[in-house]
Structure 1
C-alpha cells in the first residue's frame, strides 16, 4: 500500500470530499442507528472527509483515523476534532484497535493481503459489530484490464497500486472469514472512464465462530 502521495494526488483526494456525499449519506444512516456512544476506526481515511463529517453526529466517543500516509493525516489533524485520533499504520501488517464499528472506504482495491486485514477486522470488532465497506469492483471480466490501461495512459491519477477482486470473490472471502452481509447497494459509474467499474456499498456484521 502506498505510503506517500504527491501534491497533485493530495489535491485530488481533497476534491473527493465534495464528490463523495452519497458515501457519507450511506455511512451516516448506519451510524445514526446507535443510541449509545460508539467507537469507530476508519481504515484508509485519506484526508479525513468522513472523520470531519462525523462532527454532525452526537453519538461518537472515539474515532481512529488510520492511514499509511503522514501527508494526508495532517489534513485530519488540522481540524483538531477532540475525539479523533490519527494513526499511521501499514494496514497490510498492522494490528487494529478495538472498536464498535469499522469503516473502509475505497481501501480494499489497494490491499494485496486482504486475508490479513479481514482477520484483523474480525479481531477488532465485538460479535455483531459492523464493518461498512465502500469499494470499486469490475463490472465485467475485461474491466480490470481497461482500468489498468486508463492508468497507463494517465487518464486517471493512480493513488497506489490496485489489487481488484471481483464482487463474488470479495463476498466469498468475507463470508469465509465469518462476516455476514446485512446490506448491499450497487452504483454504476456514469462517466466513461468509470463506466467499466461499479461501486458497492456494504454493511457486514461479525458472526460468532463455531468451535
Structure 2
C-alpha cells in the first residue's frame, strides 16, 4: 500500500507541476532554516534570453534534446574520470536528472536518493515536454546562496532580468550552477572565470548545431 501510495502521489505531483510552478523545494527549505532566505522569481522560458538555456546545454547536457533522461556516455565518462582521480567539470547527471532532484528531492548522494531521482527523471521525461523541463530547471536551480532561478540570479549579479542577459552573463550563470554556494556570477575569478569563458564559446556551437532545437 505504501508503494502504491508513493507511485500515485509522485504521478500527481509531476502532472501538477507540468502546469503549475513548484512553490518550494527542499533546498529552499534548507536555506530558509539556515537563515539565508530563498529569493526566487518565476519567469516563463520565452522571457529568458535564449542564450541562457543554450549555456545550460553547453555546460551541463549537450544531448538534452535527444536523450530520454539519461546520458549513458556521460555517466560512463564521469565514472572513468572519478576512478582515475581526475577533475570532473560536470558529472553524469543530465538536466532532466538535476531537475528531478531539485524539484522533488534533497541535495546529497546515496543510492536511495539516486534511485528516487531516476524514478522522477523517468516521470518528467514521460509527462513533461523538453521545454517544460528546461523552464523548470532554469527557475528552480540554485544560482547563489539563497538565490533560485536565473531571473533572481541575473537580478543579483547583473542588476537586470534574465530576458536581457548577454551571452557572457548567461555563461557565468551556467558556470555557477554546479557549485552555487562557492561560486559567484559577478567578477568571477580563477577556474569559474575560465569555465564561464569556455561555456560562452560553446553557446554558439549549441545554436549552430541545433542542440537546442527542442526548445524552439
Q: Which has the higher helix share?
A: 2
Q: Which has the higher strand share?
A: 1
TM-score interval (norm. to shorter): under 0.3
When normalised by structure 2's length, the TM-score is 0.26
Higher RCO (CA < 8 A, seq sep 6+):
2
